[in-house]
Structure 1
Amino acid sequence: MLILKYGGRMDACMQVSWRQTVLLAFQSIGVVYGDLGTSPLYTYSGTFPNGIRHPDDLLGVLSLILYTLILLPLLKYVFIVLYANDNGDGGTFALYSLISRYAKTRMIPNQQAEDASVSNYSIQEPSSQTRRAQWVKQRLDSSKAAKIALFTITILGTSMVMGDGTLTPAISVLSAVSGIREKAPDLTQSQVVWISVAILFLLFSVQRFGTDKVGYSFAPIISVWFVLIASIGVYNLAAHDATVLRALNPMYIVDYFRRNGKEAWLSLGGVVLCTTGTEAMFADLGHFNIRAIQLSFSFIIFPSVALCYMGQASYLHKFPQDVADTFYKSIPAAMFWPTFIVAILAAIIASQAMLSGAFAILSKALSLGCFPRVEVVHTSKKYAGQVYIPEVNFLIGAASIIVTLAFQTTTNIGNAYGICVVMVFSITTHLMTVVMLLVWKKNIAFIAAFYVIFGATELLYLSSILSKFAEGGYLPFCFSLVLMALMATWHYVHVSRYWYELDHVVPATELTALLGHPDVRRVPGVGLLYSELVQGIPPVFPRLVDKMPSVHTVFVFMSIKNLPIPRVAAPERFIFRRVGLAEHRMFRCVARYGYTDQIEGAKDFSASLLDGLKLFIYEEAAFSCQQTDDDGGCALRAAKAAAEEEQRYCLHADVA
């Protein structure tokens, strides 16, 4: 039995120099954390939509915010989930592909024994503690319902991340722009909305430049933002009420629920907004590395955001009537305009974080046959995970602008946004539990603790936010249903077509009879027939020969196969097999790609294919001769004959 290595990405991380890791950590600030950094713009207003009723409620909510940040982004994602990457790539589809590589969870039966020999599979010999993992594997292998359930929650998670990518720009930009009414009270909400729409249009226009350039451009700005919010937090603590630091005592959470009951439970839908953008750390992992994400979050993002929330609580303790616009009200007068300008830029960056993650996850869905084929632009030669999808960028941009125009305020957008955030958290928890059981084979007590602690916390938040379903919460569900229907339909057709071809493969005897027919001519050149099948002769071949009674001198049944790994090395790209008798000169070729690999252009692909075919015939002839002759002379003669045969049929041939 083959077992995946735990934390396979760590070896790669250790090979990256500290200088490069620090540079990646700096770049990640500009790509990953914008959403987390701008959450103070709307978290308190979302938590107290009806005002603050009791002074100690602030301490309870601050304590909830701090421990939510510690529990979900810090403990769950930074120190656990990031290690469940698939050779450096993160997101729900990376977890799914990691599981698929170990158990036969994919519904297309195109697994081959040779796939396990690809270097990026990261496999090792089994350990002695595999009984539980073997039981899970057998259930996943044999249960169609389990496969469907796993695929369904994966595409649901992907749909929710896409919803995140739509709602993040809307709520972040609108929240930031709303601050201008502090200095220009005559502006109407409609005018604020149209200013936001203009900024959103600009945001989606720059996506084509790629994460690499955008990240380095935005990193200095968002770094200034984190310095600003931390400084403002410290100022408010010093100027108003530093006793709010008592909220570090979690007993204030207990008192808050005891005092407010149902109202406290409902307020969790606003509290969870402090974690918006957390999934971007995992989804954008392919753009950076584990160590870079850990460094930037632990030493810059978490302290800055925590200080900002503490400072806002300190201000509200003195001015509770300003809870609807806490962030801008709490800014010192001299710092308003610099902070406002940086807030607008930070909101744009916040949108970039989830858009980058959405592009990365959707590119994986494409490679696994779960989404219609669209153009995927790799925007960086240095980092393979940095991609941009023009069609998707246009659709998300249009949807984000429509949401902004339709909802007008951040309150209703926040209700929809919270559902997206918590649903993605919950789906990641369930997939992570399967990874722990099947791949990591961790102690059952650790797995149970992980599932119970994080699963129960997320369920509590989800139950609260679902209570606002009619107040905007329906939006992500409608969006996800449409996207899931598209992905599920596309995948169903993809699978159905494969099974049809597999059930109607042409027998070898029929192939011999077909090629031996007097009307069928062999014409010069190398012919390719593409098929999804990785074994057998596709049923379309006899129909093709019937319509055009000719077959190229060398004929290759070509399949392009996406493995559930990020990359396949070029020397491991092709698998060749001979089809039928040697004199038929017909071959089966499977070209294997990872979900971050780019397929070469036609000219480069055909050149690589012919080189691989010639090498296969040479090695096949040499190996065959070695089985019957020990003196080595026959092997040389056979190899030479094979090379001459290839020169005759392939060297000067065009691939048709």
Structure 2
Amino acid sequence: MGGSEASGRKQRTDSADRAFTLSSGLAALGIVFGDLGTSPLYTYQTIVGTVGGHPSPEDALGLLSLVVWALIIIVSVKYCIFVMRADNRGEGGILALMALVTTGKGGRLSAGLIVAGLFGSALIYGDGVITPAISVLSALEGINVATDVFKPYVVPAALLVLLGLFAAQAKGTAKIGRIFGPIMLLWFVTIAALGTTGLLRRPEVIGAINPLHCVRFIVAHGWHSFVVLGGVFLAITGGEALYADLGHFGRKPIRSTWYFVVLPALLLSYAGQTALLLENPGIQGNPFFKLAPHWAVIPLVVLATLATIIASQAIITGAFSLTRQAMQLGWFPGLNIRQTSDEEYGQIYVPVVNWVMMVCTLLLTFSFGSSAALAGAYGTAVSTTMLLTTFLLFSAMRDIWGWRVAVALPTSLLFLLIDFGFFSANLLKIREGGWIPLLLALLIFILMTVWHRGTEALHRSQAQRPESNDAFLASLNSGKITRVPGTAVFFNRSETAIPDVLVRHVAQFKALQETVISLTVRFDEVPRVAWSERAAVEQTADNFWHVTVRFGFIERPNVVAALASAMEKGCSLDLDDAVYFASHDDVVRSPNPPRLRSWQRMLFAVMYRNAVRSPDRFDLPADKFLEVGRQIAL
């Protein structure tokens, strides 16, 4: 009897696990696979153009073979099997990977890994402004297959769609996000069905699975193969999203959805387009839309537009999440972040990032005017990110998984060789517009490094000598400082128990509240901090506590809730009566040897002055928050 009950529980557990995987996989279709899923709209058209528009049968099979093996090696093997294993307590993304492999390290190796992680994350913003433009343009251009009447209106229509997409971000996508998965499932079923129709007419394209076709094509075309690889890379540009969204869905749903839905649909779509070229060597226009019957072109354009909007939404949301991670790891100034859903933590809105991305995307769409032209600017950022991810992955293999050099080095070198090939191929696109995402990434990288260096200099300038703390505590314990009713929470940027803002408060008012909290807020290099570890409490004087609260780099920092955790550890305070104090600093030039170069100090001062205030970042009651101004010499 016991055995049958255990068997029944196991069956119910397995059934629940399958249901969870299916529901998460469906949701992942609408968030994780948008970029990869819409790549058939422009990839094959681009690579066919690199060989003159009319490839020979052998060249056509070579092109298809390159796409097939790029999807298998980079996405199916590198990301699904290896990179997704390098999670930071369940969270993925290049910043999470950087935090994982650099924790506890120092020296030049750590500095190199940090630079790789930071520049790789900055490159994601560069990719984020091009992906919506090329995706929406390629979808709307499909209407030209049915009629040329709307050709002059494709770019204006794309601008309107993109404008509406960015304008809608402030309202959030929690409600309409529920239909993203079913729409993308319909999309994958559709492109698989269209690809199958072409494949059935020319089944010999299945032979492209033989990697010899790749080798023969590269040998036959020599250095021109690098130009072709730049186009082939468009098929895998969304691979990084599998890792970045790991924390939302987990490994199993993402891997299962890729292997059983997305990969087969993509392979069938590319195979069908190749079959169409073999059957009609002189065909003109985008082979993706040419696969559809004439009557189905307009419905396909509508579905493609919806799919590209969903893909663009995923990129924008990813940029918002990346911004929050960078802020809380100390690499970005505080920005206004709005939670657009009470139920889904990942549903956030960052106005500054949204509007900057919108302006850049609209300018690119208007300037380039077609998906074919934008293909020249697309790929440089992502290929560089993938290359940097491989460097970080090698460190994870050695330091986190404990692999021997004899195993880790050959595996990493294989990925590095392929990544470097794609990276080199995309460098050829720099003159065609590839410099745009690289320049944007460089600017963001400079902002991140200057902010981090400036905040470190700021903390060093605020550090007090231990004897000054002892003197203040002696005055406090001796009764020289008058205590008045009330609770005061002083934000503390230094490691010492006595923040400078508290000392100045006492100097100005000659008194101190009866209950005092010196509050230090830290963001750890882990995604989440357990409630039991949220607060550390140290009593330094009568009714005086130094409380250190910790948050993970993806958590929403609620200081009031964290102080409630401190109360469970012996800190006696009345949260309803608490008033919060923080310093509002103005950065000026130091008369002593400056800690920052002039241009760095000016840039940091601008960012610091415009960073979001503590009430907005830490969910503090604005009517109980006071700032004290002062000048900091750097």
Which category describes the TM-score, using the shorter chain as reference length? 0.7 to 0.9
CA contact (8 A) 1:45 1:323 kept: no
1:564-600 per-residue CA deviation (whole Å, 9 max, x = no partner) reads 1122233321101122xx4x43221101111222223
CA contact (8 A) 1:505 1:536 kept: no
CA contact (8 A) 1:316 1:323 kept: no
Higher relative contact order structure (alpha carbons within 8 Å, sequence separation ≥ 6): 1
Alignment CA distance shift 1:506-1:398 (3 Å): farther
1:3-41 per-residue CA deviation (whole Å, 9 max, x = no partner) reads xxxxxxxxxx99983312210101111111121111111
Write the mapping of 1:403-552 to structure 2, written as runs, cut at 5 A. 403-502=364-463, 504=465, 507-515=468-476, 520-552=481-513
Is the aligned partner of 1:600 residue 2:549?
Answer: no
CA contact (8 A) 1:277 1:354 kept: no
Cα distance in 1 for partners of 2:158, 2:575 equals 60
Q: Given the alignment, which residue of 187, 190, 193 partners 2:155?
A: 193
1:559, distance to aligned residue in structure 2 (A): 0.6
1:509, distance to aligned residue in structure 2 (A): 3.0
Is the aligned partner of 1:155 residue 2:109?
Answer: no
Cα distance in 1 for partners of 2:352, 2:274 equals 43
Write the mapping of 1:313-352 to structure 2, written as runs, cut at 5 A. 313-322=274-283, 324-352=285-313
CA contact (8 A) 1:44 1:323 kept: no
Alignment CA distance shift 1:413-1:525 (3 Å): same
Q: Name the SS of the counterpart of 2:175 in structure 1.
A: helix
Which letter maps to 2:243? F
Write the mapping of 1:623-642 to structure 2, written as runs, cut at 5 A. none
Q: Name the SS of the counterpart of 1:616 in structure 2.
A: coil
Cα distance in 1 for partners of 2:399, 2:119 equals 21
Match of 2:527 in 1: 566
Between 20-29 and 570-579, the greater mean CA deviation after superposition: 570-579
Question: How many pairs are equivalent?
Answer: 566
Match of 1:62 in 2: 64
Match of 1:585 in 2: 543
Is the aligned partner of 1:374 residue 2:335?
Answer: yes
Write the mapping of 1:250-399 to structure 2, written as runs, cut at 5 A. 250-322=211-283, 324-399=285-360
Which letter maps to 2:516? F
1:541-574 per-residue CA deviation (whole Å, 9 max, x = no partner) reads 4333222221222322111111111222333211
1:68, distance to aligned residue in structure 2 (A): 0.4
CA contact (8 A) 2:485 2:513 kept: yes
CA contact (8 A) 1:48 1:323 kept: no
Which letter maps to 1:180? I
Alignment CA distance shift 1:216-1:555 (3 Å): same
Which letter maps to 2:412? Y
Match of 1:165 in 2: 128
Cα distance in 2 for partners of 1:214, 1:652 equals 38
Q: Name the SS of the counterpart of 2:554 in structure 1.
A: coil
Cα distance in 2 for partners of 1:178, 1:299 equals 30
Cα distance in 2 for partners of 1:650, 1:276 equals 52
Cα distance in 2 for partners of 1:207, 1:303 equals 32
Is the aligned partner of 1:19 residue 2:23?
Answer: no
Match of 1:628 in 2: none
Cα distance in 1 for partners of 2:212, 2:354 equals 45
Which letter maps to 2:184? I
Write the mapping of 1:231-250 to structure 2, written as runs, cut at 5 A. 231-239=193-201, 241-250=202-211
Match of 1:86 in 2: 88
Cα distance in 2 for partners of 1:545, 1:15 equals 63
Cα distance in 2 for partners of 1:379, 1:446 equals 45
Which letter maps to 1:575? A
Match of 2:146 in 1: 183
1:307, distance to aligned residue in structure 2 (A): 0.4
Fraction of identical pairs, as percent: 31
1:430-467 per-residue CA deviation (whole Å, 9 max, x = no partner) reads 11111111111123233112211111101011111101
Which letter maps to 2:234? L
1:318-346 per-residue CA deviation (whole Å, 9 max, x = no partner) reads 22333652211222223222212111111
Between 226-235 and 388-397, the greater mean CA deviation after superposition: 388-397
Q: Name the SS of the counterpart of 2:403 in structure 1.
A: coil
Between 468-477 and 412-421, the greater mean CA deviation after superposition: 412-421
1:265-285 per-residue CA deviation (whole Å, 9 max, x = no partner) reads 211000010112111111122
Q: Name the SS of the counterpart of 1:416 in structure 2.
A: coil
Which letter maps to 2:188? F
CA contact (8 A) 2:146 2:294 kept: no
Which letter maps to 1:590? T
Alignment CA distance shift 1:214-1:156 (3 Å): farther
CA RMSD of aligned residues (A): 2.4
CA contact (8 A) 2:62 2:217 kept: yes
Q: Name the SS of the counterpart of 1:561 in structure 2.
A: strand
1:650, distance to aligned residue in structure 2 (A): 5.5
* Structure 2 unpaired stretches of 5+: 1-12, 581-634
1:513, distance to aligned residue in structure 2 (A): 4.6
Match of 2:630 in 1: none
Match of 1:114 in 2: none
Which letter maps to 1:310? A
Cα distance in 2 for partners of 1:157, 1:596 equals 18
Between 258-267 and 210-219, the greater mean CA deviation after superposition: 210-219
Q: Name the SS of the counterpart of 1:17 in structure 2.
A: helix
After TM superposition, the runs of 4+ consecutive aligned structure 1 residues lying more than 6 A away are 13-16, 516-519
* Structure 1 unpaired stretches of 5+: 1-12, 104-139, 618-645
Which letter maps to 2:73? L
Q: Name the SS of the counterpart of 2:147 in structure 1.
A: coil
Q: Given the alignment, which residue of 174, 181, 184 partners 1:219?
A: 181
Q: Name the SS of the counterpart of 2:182 in structure 1.
A: helix
Q: Name the SS of the counterpart of 1:526 in structure 2.
A: strand
1:113-158 per-residue CA deviation (whole Å, 9 max, x = no partner) reads xxxxxxxxxxxxxxxxxxxxxxxxxxx32x1x33432222222111
Q: Name the SS of the counterpart of 2:53 in structure 1.
A: coil
Q: Given the alignment, which residue of 75, 78, 88 partners 1:76?
A: 78
Q: Name the SS of the counterpart of 1:166 in structure 2.
A: helix
Alignment CA distance shift 1:281-1:206 (3 Å): farther
Cα distance in 1 for partners of 2:574, 2:382 equals 55
Cα distance in 1 for partners of 2:372, 2:197 equals 28
TM-score by length of 2: 0.84
Cα distance in 2 for partners of 1:483, 1:398 equals 16
1:353-387 per-residue CA deviation (whole Å, 9 max, x = no partner) reads 22232222221111112112123334455554443
Cα distance in 2 for partners of 1:651, 1:563 equals 25
CA contact (8 A) 1:38 1:172 kept: yes
Match of 2:620 in 1: none
Cα distance in 2 for partners of 1:451, 1:211 equals 38
CA contact (8 A) 2:534 2:565 kept: no
Cα distance in 2 for partners of 1:464, 1:81 equals 23
Alignment CA distance shift 1:370-1:505 (3 Å): farther
Is the aligned partner of 1:30 residue 2:34?
Answer: no
